[in-house]
Chains A and B, each alone.
Chain A
Amino acid sequence: GENVEQHPSTLSVQEGDSAVIKCTYSDSASNYFPWYKQELGKRPQLIIDIRSNVGEKKDQRIAVTLNKTAKHFSLHITETQPEDSAVYFCAATPRNNYGQNFVFGPGTRLSVLP
């Protein structure tokens, strides 16, 4: 089945610096790649997503890049702020006999230090 790896598991940056989180996936049929942010005790919330027909997508301080050939995608956060501190999960959507599902990476705990 699909295997999603995510690195690093923890990341600390100074406020104002950039943060980059990388994920790899194994199923070349995956075609939708969302990123979720989960604050402590709260539900995961979508922050950005990308489809396999696009190489890059940007939304203000957040961007995602996708390399289909290498089967990896990355989250970029610029000008980090303390409120960016959370756990971030990437996901891929492999196909199986039943359609598509979300397979999540293990998460990256981002700490933005003031």
Chain B
Amino acid sequence: GAGVSQSPRYKVAKRGQDVALRCDPISGHVSLFWYQQALGQGPEFLTYFQNEAQLDKSGLPSDRFFAERPEGSVSTLKIQRTQQEDSAVYLCASSLAPGGTTEAFFGQGTRLTVV
């Protein structure tokens, strides 16, 4: 595809429900980042993949958050037992080179609302 694609665009989950958010990066991009963006805030780092390797997961707020990129392309962010404070926009970004050294292209995000 032409850009980074995320699905679903919107997700409403009942508290305690598990959710899975998908990211399709630009083909050939080595780096993939997940960010959490609360209303009126800047993106907050969650985790980083270089190809299939999850090199940095220091931003994941709890062990309820899990991310994977098994074949070095599509990535899934899973949140177990969702809580109201998980409500936010989840942004995925990919870049051609390893790490934060070249432009990151963002997806449109998934807006998660936990009720």
- How distant is B41 from chain A, measured CB to nearest CB, in Å? 6
Q: Does A82 contact B (CB under 8 A)?
A: no
Q: Is B99 touching A34 in the complex (CB atoms < 8 A)?
A: no
**Cα distance A93–B98 when bound, in Å?**
12
Tell me whether chain A's interface is mostly helix, strand or loop, or mixed.
strand
Q: Is A93 touching B99 in the complex (CB atoms < 8 A)?
A: yes
**Cα distance A6–B41 when bound, in Å?**
12
Q: Does A61 contact B (CB under 8 A)?
A: no
Contacts of A96 in B (CB 8 A): 56, 58
Q: Is A43 touching B42 in the complex (CB atoms < 8 A)?
A: no
Interface residue tally for chain A (C-beta within 8 Å): 25
Q: Does B66 contact A (CB under 8 A)?
A: no
**Cα distance A36–B105 when bound, in Å?**
10
Size bracket of the B interface: 20 to 34
Among A34, A91, A101, max chain B CB count under 10 A is at A101
Q: Does B103 contact A (CB under 8 A)?
A: yes
Within the complex, which residue of A44, A93, A105 is in contact with B101, where a contact is CB–CB below 8 Å? A93
Q: Is B108 touching A101 in the complex (CB atoms < 8 A)?
A: no
Q: Does B82 contact A (CB under 8 A)?
A: no
Q: Does A113 contact B (CB under 8 A)?
A: no
Contacts of A93 in B (CB 8 A): 99-101
Q: Is A104 touching B109 in the complex (CB atoms < 8 A)?
A: no
Contacts of A99 in B (CB 8 A): 48, 50, 55-56, 98-100
Contacts of A45 in B (CB 8 A): 106
Q: Does A103 contact B (CB under 8 A)?
A: yes
In the complex, the chain A residue whose C-beta lies closest to that of B31 is A99
Using an 8 Å CB-CB cutoff, how does the interface string of A18-55 with B read, 1 for contact, 0 for none? 00000000000001101010000011111001000000
Q: Is A46 touching B42 in the complex (CB atoms < 8 A)?
A: no
Q: Is A106 touching B107 in the complex (CB atoms < 8 A)?
A: no
Could you list 13 examples of A-B contacts with CB < 8 Å?
Answer: A46-B103, A46-B104, A49-B103, A91-B100, A93-B100, A98-B56, A99-B48, A99-B100, A101-B99, A101-B100, A102-B43, A103-B45, A106-B41
Interface residues of B (CB under 8 A from A): 4, 33, 35, 40-45, 48, 50, 55-56, 58, 91, 93, 98-109
